[in-house]
Amino acid sequence: MSVLSGKKILLGITAGIAAYKTASLVRLFIKLGAEVKVVMTPASKDFITPLTLSTLSKNPVHSTFYDKEDENELWNNHVDLGLWADYFLIAPATANTLSKMANGTCNNLLLATYLSAKCPVYFAPAMDLDMYKHNSTKQSLDKLQSFGNVMIPATSGELASGLVGEGRMAEPEDIVSFIEKDVLSKLPLKGKKVLITAGPTYEAIDPVRFIGNHSSGKMGFAIANTAANLGAEVILISGPSHQKIQHSFVDRIDVVSANQMYAAAHKYYNSVDIAILSAAVADYAPKNSASQKIKKKDASLEIQLAPTKDILASLGAIKKHQYLVGFALETNNELENAKGKLQRKNLDAIVLNSLQDKGAGFATDTNKITIIDKDLKQKSFELKSKVAVAKDIMNEIISKLS
């Protein structure tokens, strides 16, 4: 999965011959799972049609503040467009538009949107050789980069004039690759390894029956996806779960029992920087699991249970450089029990959720948490989706690591 998957990309197109390449750009972004909207300068429509771009992007294309021929047409809000985008790419960026961007000139929708954008802005210059080398163009390029905009350098090649030299817009594939690498390099967990456990464990009574719990794995999977989106290499150890995850940065390892999860966690623990144990591991397992199905009888059935290995405590005991986070699902004396677990198991933080809170706990799409650090400082959050909760958890971890 690309780091651009699920992102909102605003593509700004100006009036250069390289505009014909923007159809390929839109298709590449869509293929990577991004949502694309297009804003054009009026003159750029001489080089590629809005119909082509709206068809490929599956979104309306904007080029003016309103349609003068339609008295009922709504105002195209440049502020909304600028705030909508996660990333804004201007390609091709002509000498004319670069100069206007550098000097704050605002005489079309694209420039108004640029001045309203709160997201990272990339621009790919495209012009003829002498224009590209002109001092005024160099000043525009330097000024724009000093503002924090990111330039995707022009390449050398055959130009529209017939000259051969620098000024050719980078190819669509190279533009997309450049943005992916730049985004990845700025992610806060780039170069970090994160171990996450998720879901329940099933402890076999016989080949048919087991002892388990109602955990769905939703919370752990949300954390894994969030950590991967932040640039981490994620090892996700999951008990039986119907949850799906498709991310190139996530290596999913499926286990069934507490013993299997214990072995997998210890196998990878030494190599990770962060470990988040959100799995609901069974505390007890049958002392002896029957090899054949136990037949039902009129008499009551007694099963001897033995405690499972405490994965969290065992990792806390051998902790070196890792930032270790546990979970506590409580029904009473929540804070006291969570703080006790935090200290006993040598954790750096613990995430508390209570079954007393409506919308929290197993198999729901929401959760309500309190994070307690090793200094016993606590931070509580309102009820949120588990995706949003995962972001809160990762943001707290990142703040501690920084």
List all residues 6 or more positions away from 397 whose beta carbon is below 8 Å from its beta carbon. Answer: 274, 276, 323, 325, 349
Contact by Cβ (8 Å): 102, 139: yes
**Cα→Cα distances 132→15, 20, 154, 160, 329, Å:** 15, 19, 9, 13, 62
- What's the token pair of residue 371? 């994070």
92 prior amide bond cis, ω within 30: yes
**Cα→Cα distances 28→56, 149, 213, 360, Å:** 10, 22, 43, 39
**Alpha carbon distance 279, 239 (integer Å):** 8
> Residue 92: phi, psi to the nearest 5?
-75, 150
List all residues 6 or more positions away from 186 whose beta carbon is below 8 Å from its beta carbon. Answer: none
Contact by Cβ (8 Å): 89, 120: no
59 is catalytic: no
**Alpha carbon distance 311, 314 (integer Å):** 5
List all residues 6 or more positions away from 268 whose beta carbon is below 8 Å from its beta carbon. Answer: 195, 235, 237
Contact by Cβ (8 Å): 282, 204: no
**Alpha carbon distance 275, 286 (integer Å):** 28
One of 77, 213, 259, 337 is an active-site residue; which one? Answer: 213
| 3-state SS track over 346-396 | CCCEEEEEECCCCCCCCCCCEECCEEEECCCCEEECCCEEHHHHHHHHHHH
> Residue 212: phi, psi to the nearest 5?
-150, -160
Cite the active site residues: 213
